[in-house]
Structure 1
Amino acid sequence: MKIPLFLTLADDSWQRAHYALVLAAGALSLGRSVTVFAGGRSVLAFTKDWSRLAGSLTDSDLASRGIAGFEELRDAVMDLGATIMVCETGLKLALVSPGDLLEGVSIKGIVSFLELAGDNPVIAL
Structure 2
Amino acid sequence: MSADDKRGDDKRGDDKPGAGKAGPDKLSIVVFSGDFDRVHYALVMAAAAVASNTPVTLFFTMWAGRALERPLADGSPAWTRLKVSDGSLTAAEMDAGFKAKGVGTFDELLEACVALGVTVMVCEMGLKALGMDPDGLRPDVPVAKGGVVTFLADASRTGAMLFV
TM-score, structure 2 normalization = 0.69
Counting matched residue pairs gives 125
Q: Is the 8 A contact 1:6 1:36 kept in 2?
A: yes
Q: What does residue 68 of structure 2 align with?
A: 46
User: Matched residue of 2:91: which SS?
Assistant: coil
Q: What does residue 124 of structure 1 align with?
A: 163
Shift of 1:118: 4.0
Letter in 2 for 1:20: A
- What is the CA deviation profile of residues 34-58 of structure 1, one whole-angstrom value per residue up to 9, with x for unaligned ones? 1011111111122232222222522
Q: Is the 8 A contact 2:79 2:91 kept in 1?
A: no
Instruction: List aligned pairs for 1:4-83, cutoff 5 A.
Output: 4-48=26-70, 49-55=78-84, 56-58=90-92, 59-83=95-119
Shift of 1:28: 0.9
Gaps of 5+ in 2: 1-17, 71-77, 85-89
Counting aligned pairs with the same residue, the percent is 34
CA distance, structure 1, for counterparts of residue 98 and residue 119 of structure 2: 25
Question: Is the deviation greater in 7-16 or in 20-29?
Answer: 7-16
CA distance, structure 2, for counterparts of residue 41 and residue 97 of structure 1: 14
TM-score, structure 1 normalization = 0.88
CA distance, structure 2, for counterparts of residue 100 and residue 50 of structure 1: 13
User: Matched residue of 2:58: which SS?
Assistant: strand
- What is the CA deviation profile of residues 89-120 of structure 1, one whole-angstrom value per residue up to 9, with x for unaligned ones? 21133332212212311331111100111423
Gaps of 5+ in 1: none
User: Matched residue of 2:46: which SS?
Assistant: helix
- What is the CA deviation profile of residues 7-32 of structure 1, one whole-angstrom value per residue up to 9, with x for unaligned ones? 11112111111001000110111111
Structure that is richer in strand per residue: 1
Segments ≥4 residues shifted beyond 4 Å: none
Structure that is richer in helix per residue: 1
